[in-house]
Amino acid sequence: MVRQVLVFRSDSLPLEAFAEGKIVTAQDLNLEDGQYTAEVSLGGGSGRAGVESPARLRVENGNVFVTIVWGSSNYDYMKVGEERYELMGTEGSSTFEIPVAGFDWKIPVIADTIAMSQPHEISYTLTLDSSTLEKVQ
């Protein structure tokens, strides 16, 4: 009998694949509509990229959106799943607003950089730390 083992990267699985309670959601945190900040960490890529932390969050009707400010102005779009998000601004850095499915897990994203001889999509992960959430007055 031949045994096979399948291994999946957890950051490559959709939110629905996780058992309830494993990913912290806005509903779990009882987040009201409004503005917040939270620490965000970046993984993947070459290790040279960076994002501003803490990041600004907007909660609207139970949906969370984070403003990602890159340390470079060389990104022209981001993708979360199959959805593409366009650049909001480039005053010294590239800025995007993307949805947040949950906190305390690695959210897979793609950012397209134009810093090289031709554009390249680079895979990253973003992790929002729910323990650092602060409501902005």
DSSP classification of residue 12:
G
pLDDT, greater one: 106 or 116 = 106
* Residue 21 confidence (pLDDT): 47
Whether 121 is covered by a domain: the verdict is yes
* Residue 11 confidence (pLDDT): 56
What mean pLDDT comes out for the span 7-27? Answer: 64
Q: Whole domain around residue 33: which residue ranges?
A: 25-135
What mean pLDDT comes out for the span 93-104? Answer: 94
pLDDT in tens, 36-79: 999 999 999 877 889 999 999 999 999 999 999 999 899 999 99
Q: Provide the CATH number for the domain around residue 87.
A: 2.60.40.1850
* Residue 7 confidence (pLDDT): 62
Whether 3 is covered by a domain: the verdict is no
Whether 82 is covered by a domain: the verdict is yes
Whether 14 is covered by a domain: the verdict is no
pTM of the shown model = 0.82
Whether 102 is covered by a domain: the verdict is yes
Domain count, the chain: 1
Distance CA 100, CA 130 (A): 12
Distance CA 121, CA 44 (A): 12
Whether 94 is covered by a domain: the verdict is yes
Whether 42 is covered by a domain: the verdict is yes
